[in-house]
Amino acid sequence: MMARETKTERMARESAELALYQEQFVIDYPERLLNLVYEYATLGSALGSDFRVKRDEPLFRFETDHSAYILPHKIYSYGTSVDDSLQCAEGEIESYLREEAERKRLANVRLEAKRKIAELLTDEERKVMGL
């Protein structure tokens, strides 16, 4: 049976975990930023998308019709505002892609329903039903 973690031990563990997270964030930041630039640029060129990315050295500005996030080109140490902005900008992409996938799924459901109606009902039955 292990003894319970003391308050001091818990605080030391949490501090070490936070330091590790911050260190990993700085390491991963360039790749995450480039992925974000790619996603915003790709979605921005898609028809009907409101994603825009602008580079204003030393910053990138990520915009949609309802939000904007400014991120530095490089970071040398962890900053909560950079972390928050990066997560929010990535969240915008994830949310958009989820919504787009749901729109496509519903469009496929409608097409399948129309196919079934066409297959199962005669022209007269569809006319009577208002389909």
14-27 confidence digits (pLDDT tens): 999 999 999 999 99
Strand order, beta sheet including 68-72: 52-56, 59-63, 68-72
Q: Indicate the SS3 state at residue 32.
A: helix
**Angle at CA 127, nearest 5°, toward 126 and 131?**
55
3 pLDDT above the threshold of 80: no
Taking CA atoms, 85 is separated from 2, 60, 115, in Å, by 40, 11, 45
The pLDDT, as a whole number, for residue 124 is 86
Whether pTM > 0.85 for this model: the answer is no
2 pLDDT above the threshold of 80: no
Task: Give the strand pairing for 68-72 and 59-63.
Answer: antiparallel
